[in-house]
Chains A and B, each alone.
Chain A
């Protein structure tokens, strides 16, 4: 199975901050990467797929980049509703695997 490692595990940030979360795969995944946002007690919500393609309805302050084994999720200007846990997921090979999550908290 491909291992996905996110960093950091948690971060504190203020409204308006630029936030970057990194996801590293144990082998190359050819941009087959999705990002999800999960708020407490709620289901995950798809934000991006194919590493950089924004899901319909997701605000443009979310963006993704990367290649090979290393990928990033960037929130350009953190909003109050963005405080949540973020997960990456590779779908390059079966089984799909998730990172351990990055919790974005209010500073």
Chain B
């Protein structure tokens, strides 16, 4: 059974940093691109970042470029999102999601999400 379990969310002050993790199991992690998608309270889904299966290629939404870093450790089956210079508008539930098996660009499995609260 495919499982994605996020952790690392919490309360952080504006300007602070946080690292999210997503532990994967039930599939060959190193074969799939992975993504982060976020959802602000009461709002819709916003695409954040992606990383290729071997980690050699990454993508960032303009809203987080230069502040967030996506990475992965295929030996640990874990995806990361290092978040810096956090702003109030970064407050959201952050989901990790698996790229579809055809690598078309939709998301066939999602984690349960981890909440990031940015507040002083």
Give A93 to B107 CA distance when docked, in angstroms.
14
Give A94 to B46 CA distance when docked, in angstroms.
13
Assess whether A32 is in contact with B104, with CB atoms less than 8 Å apart.
Answer: yes
**Contacts between the two chains (Cβ within 8 Å), count:** 51
Assess whether A98 is in contact with B47, with CB atoms less than 8 Å apart.
Answer: yes
A96 at interface by CB-CB < 8 Å:
yes
B96-112 with Cβ < 8 A to chain A = 100, 104-112
Assess whether B45 is in contact with A44, with CB atoms less than 8 Å apart.
Answer: yes
For B6, the closest partner residue in chain A by CB is A43
Give A43 to B3 CA distance when docked, in angstroms.
12
A49 at interface by CB-CB < 8 Å:
yes
Assess whether B61 is in contact with A95, with CB atoms less than 8 Å apart.
Answer: yes
Assess whether A32 is in contact with B95, with CB atoms less than 8 Å apart.
Answer: no
Assess whether A96 is in contact with B47, with CB atoms less than 8 Å apart.
Answer: yes
- Specify which of A34, A45, A49, A95 is in contact with B47 (CB 8 Å cutoff): A95
Assess whether B111 is in contact with A98, with CB atoms less than 8 Å apart.
Answer: no
Assess whether A96 is in contact with B106, with CB atoms less than 8 Å apart.
Answer: yes
Give A23 to B73 CA distance when docked, in angstroms.
37
Assess whether A49 is in contact with B104, with CB atoms less than 8 Å apart.
Answer: yes
For B111, the closest partner residue in chain A by CB is A43
Interface core residue of A43, A46, A97, A100 (most chain B CB under 10 Å): A43
B contact residues around A70 at 8 Å (CB): none
Smallest CB separation, B88 vs chain A (Å): 21
Smallest CB separation, B106 vs chain A (Å): 4
Decide: A34 near B106, CB < 8 A? Known: A98-B44, A98-B46.
Answer: yes
- Specify which of B59, B95, B108 is in contact with A55 (CB 8 Å cutoff): B108
B contact residues around A44 at 8 Å (CB): 45, 95, 107, 110
B31-47 with Cβ < 8 A to chain A = 44-47
Decide: A96 near B108, CB < 8 A? Known: A43-B113, A49-B100.
Answer: no
A72 at interface by CB-CB < 8 Å:
no
A contact residues around B105 at 8 Å (CB): 32, 91, 94, 96
B residues at A contact (CB < 8 Å): 44-47, 59, 61, 95, 100, 104-113
